[in-house]
Amino acid sequence: MPELQTLRVTEDGGVVTVSLDRSEVHNAFNDRMIVEMIGLVESLASRDDVRVMVLRGEGPNFCAGADLNWMSQMVSYSREENLRDSTELANMFRTLDSAPFPIVGRIHGAAIGGGVGLVAVCDIVIAEEGTKFGLSEVKLGILPAVISPYVIAKIGTTNARALFLTGERFGAGRATQIGLIHRIASGPEDLDRFVAETVANLLTSGPQAVTECKKLIAHVAGRELDESVPYTVEAIAARRISEEGQAGMRAFLEKRKAPWIEK
Name residues whose C-beta falls within 8 Å of residue 128's C-beta, 6 or more positions apart in sequence.
107, 108, 109, 172, 184, 185, 186, 187, 188, 190, 191
**Best CA proximity match to 132, nearest among 104, 96, 94, 163:** 163
Give, for 112, the enclosing helix (H) or strand (E): strand 110-112
* Mean pLDDT to the nearest integer, 12-27: 96
- pTM of the predicted model as reported, rounded to 2 decimal places: 0.93
Instruction: Answer yes or no: is pLDDT of 38 > 70.
Output: yes
Q: What is the DSSP string of 120-171?
A: HT-SEEEEETT-EEE--GGGGT---TTTHHHHHHHHHHHHHHHHHHH--EEE
Instruction: Answer yes or no: is pLDDT of 262 > 80.
Output: no
Strands 124-128, 103-107: pairing is: parallel
pLDDT digits (tens, 9 = 90+) for 187-200: 999 999 999 999 99
Q: What is the Cα–Cα distance from 115 to 133, expressed in whole angstroms? A: 8
Looking at residue 140, its pLDDT comes to 87
pLDDT digits (tens, 9 = 90+) for 73-82: 666 667 777 7
Q: Give CA separation, 240 vs 189, 228, 234, in Å.
A: 40, 19, 10
pLDDT digits (tens, 9 = 90+) for 83-101: 777 888 999 999 999 999 9
Name residues whose C-beta falls within 8 Å of residue 204's C-beta, 6 or more positions apart in sequence.
258, 260, 261
Give, for 111, the enclosing helix (H) or strand (E): strand 110-112
Q: Could you count the other beta carbons within 10 Å of the beta carbon of residue 150?
A: 20
- Lowest-confidence range among 47-56, 158-167, 221-230? 221-230
**Best CA proximity match to 59, nearest among 95, 21, 9, 23:** 23
Q: What is the Cα–Cα distance from 97 to 102, expressed in whole angstroms? A: 9
- State the chain's mean pLDDT as an integer: 92
Q: Could you count the other beta carbons within 10 Å of the beta carbon of residue 162?
A: 15
**Best CA proximity match to 67, nearest among 134, 110, 115:** 115
Reported as a pLDDT band with limits 50, 70 and 90, residue 29 is: very high
Looking at residue 248, its pLDDT comes to 85
Buried b (16+ CB within 10 A) or exposed e, 196-209: eebbeebbebbbbb
* Mean pLDDT to the nearest integer, 204-209: 94
